[in-house]
Amino acid sequence: MGWAHSVEVWDGDRLVAFAWYDCGECSMQSLIGVYDPDYAAHSLGLYTLLCEVRLAIALGLSFHYAG
């Protein structure tokens, strides 16, 4: 690992949110989360953060840093 990855949320063919994160040997760090303001009511920033945490658990990482 050791390079930036992304989580993306699409509404059809429209990208409405994304987050970049980086992985190390035992941890993951959120780098940036961006969402379309038209979708603010859907809490997509929190959703992408939780997707990262779920992935960190699936990868067996010990820590997730919210950035």
* Cβ neighbours, 10 Å, residue 35: 20
Q: Residue 67: its pLDDT value, please?
A: 76
Q: Is residue 24 within 8 Å of residue 57, measured between CB atoms?
A: no
The pair phi, psi for residue 54, each rounded to 5°, is -60, -40
The tally of CA atoms less than 13 A away on the side-chain side of residue 64 is: 16
Positions in the chain whose pLDDT score sits under 50: 1
What is this structure's pTM? 0.86
**3: its two tokens:** 């390079």
Each residue of 35-54: pLDDT tens digit? 999 999 999 999 999 999 99
CA distances from 48 to 7, 37, 40 (A): 6, 15, 13
Identify the pLDDT of residue 3. Answer: 60
